[in-house]
A and B are shown apart, each in its own frame.
Chain A
Amino acid sequence: MSLALQTFSTVKDASAALQAAGARYLGGGTLVVRAANEGDVSLSSLVRVTDPSLSRIAVSGGKARLGASVTMAAVARHPELNALSPAARAVGGPAIRNMATVGGNLFAPAPYGDFTVALLALDAIVVTEDGEMPIETFLTGRNASRAVVTAVAFPLPAAESFRFRKVSRVKPKGVSVLSIAALLQRTSDGVVTSARIAFGCMADRPMRAKAAEKALLGCKLTSKEIAPALAAAGAGTSPITDPIASAWYRAEVLPVHLGRLLVG
């Protein structure tokens, strides 16, 4: 293996180096070094940035900003990020969580990227050195993007309004069959007034469940009232097939797990 690693102290300098063919950004290494180990010959150089601000977590005024190099372990143990802790803990085992970064997770192909599913439900803003954009826009264009992600920012959800579930066959750690995150605002008597739901593994990258979101409006979270949302859950999905589960299986169990997330 011959991979040249270039280390920069600023994102700006790294960006210039990333324009070269075969150059990839190195975060925690759990995706890129893995690709190199697997024999990905499109990789010829790795670029990393040591700027400590990329590892900073800032929580204030009900908002959180996570630097791109913040690890899953750092999110999981941060006392003010309890709402995100289940999603951060859903990634890998302890060693992977000490390495895998928030920025890297944004690029993880299905079946990986469970943390990004949570960020998508939270309508996070992705900050790159070129500017900011909604996470949905970012995910659509991520394959063509050459801009370095520096942070994600999102309003911290109230504990009862945010739910996350990862379904895997091996406990406590296993690759996703699917993952679901939901941000639900409800009136005092439990009627859903806004819903934002994201799925992992139901496409090649995290996706919104817009039909289910719409069907939930005006409902209480009872098995009867959520039935139309469950029926609509599969709309627009094209689940992946991998050694963990077939597309057929993922489509079959999606409404079951969405129901458990909403009612359970």
Chain B
Amino acid sequence: MAKVPVQFTLNGSEKAEFVESGTTLLNALRDKIGDTSPKGGCHQGTCGACSVIIDGELRLSCLTLAETCGGANIKTTAGLAEGGVLHPLQRAFLDGFATQCGFCTPGMIMAAKVLLDRTPNPSREDVVEALSGNVCRCTGYEPIIQAVLSAARANSQNVA
């Protein structure tokens, strides 16, 4: 099988790789580029663990072919911390015990980031809706919902 070039921006830096045609973005990120923050859960579009942000929109990297991402701007949870300081969402997840096994966490955080980028002061219903494509089998969701609301509050305090 012929290899094909893929080129995109990942968390602000240019990446170029050769992948086998038909490789998913998830596999390209994890196996080729070495960003293991998106997780492969179901590979069926059901669990949301592989969620990444492509050109500002939440997408499932397990159902996206790497070749279709040429020139795209891709963000993953691995790129959130700046200078060793955690992103407010990461900090809120830690402080609020919103991670247990941690497998769903990067997908949850990506889904929450898209929400907060567009809706800085979300209602609880907004948060539930935004996380509705992400499955967590440990926490029962409540700490995750509270962490997102708490990150939103922390953001608005910083702005004020």
Residues on A close to B: CB < 8 A?
1-5, 7, 26, 28-30, 33-34, 36-38, 46, 48, 73, 92-96, 98-99, 172-173
> Which chain B residues lie closer than 8 Å to A1 at the CB level?
20, 22-23
B48 interface residue (CB < 8 Å to A): yes
Least CB separation from A6: chain B residue: B21
- Are the C-beta atoms of A94 and B67 separated by less than 8 Å? no
Question: Which of B43, B67, B133 is the one whose CB lies under 8 Å from A37?
Answer: B43
- Are the C-beta atoms of B129 and A94 separated by less than 8 Å? yes
- Are the C-beta atoms of A95 and B58 separated by less than 8 Å? yes
User: In whole angstroms, how far apart are the Cα atoms of A219 and B132 in the complex?
Assistant: 39
> Which chain A residues lie closer than 8 Å to B64 at the CB level?
29, 33, 99
Q: How far is the CB of A85 from chain B (nearest CB, A)?
A: 13
> Which chain B residues lie closer than 8 Å to A98 at the CB level?
57-59
> Which chain A residues lie closer than 8 Å to B111 at the CB level?
94-95
Q: How far is the CB of B59 from chain A (nearest CB, A)?
A: 5
- Are the C-beta atoms of B58 and A33 separated by less than 8 Å? no
Q: Given that A34-B45, A94-B111 are known contacts, is A4 also in contact with B68, CB under 8 Å in the complex? A: no
Question: Which of B22, B57, B133 is the one whose CB lies under 8 Å from A36?
Answer: B22
Residues on B close to A: CB < 8 A?
1-2, 4, 20-24, 43-45, 48, 51, 57-60, 62-65, 67-68, 111, 114, 128-130, 132-134
> Which chain B residues lie closer than 8 Å to A30 at the CB level?
45, 60, 63
Q: Given that A33-B65, A46-B65, A94-B132 are known contacts, is A99 also in contact with B59, CB under 8 Å in the complex? A: yes
- List 19 additional A-B contacts (Cβ < 8 Å) besides A38-B43, A95-B48: A2-B1, A2-B21, A5-B21, A5-B68, A7-B68, A29-B65, A29-B68, A30-B63, A33-B63, A34-B43, A34-B44, A37-B44, A46-B65, A73-B57, A94-B130, A95-B111, A95-B133, A96-B133, A99-B64
User: In whole angstroms, how far apart are the Cα atoms of A34 and B63 in the complex?
Assistant: 6
Q: How far is the CB of B160 from chain A (nearest CB, A)?
A: 28
Q: Given that A29-B64, A37-B62, A99-B60 are known contacts, is A92 also in contact with B22, CB under 8 Å in the complex? A: no
Q: How far is the CB of A130 from chain B (nearest CB, A)?
A: 26
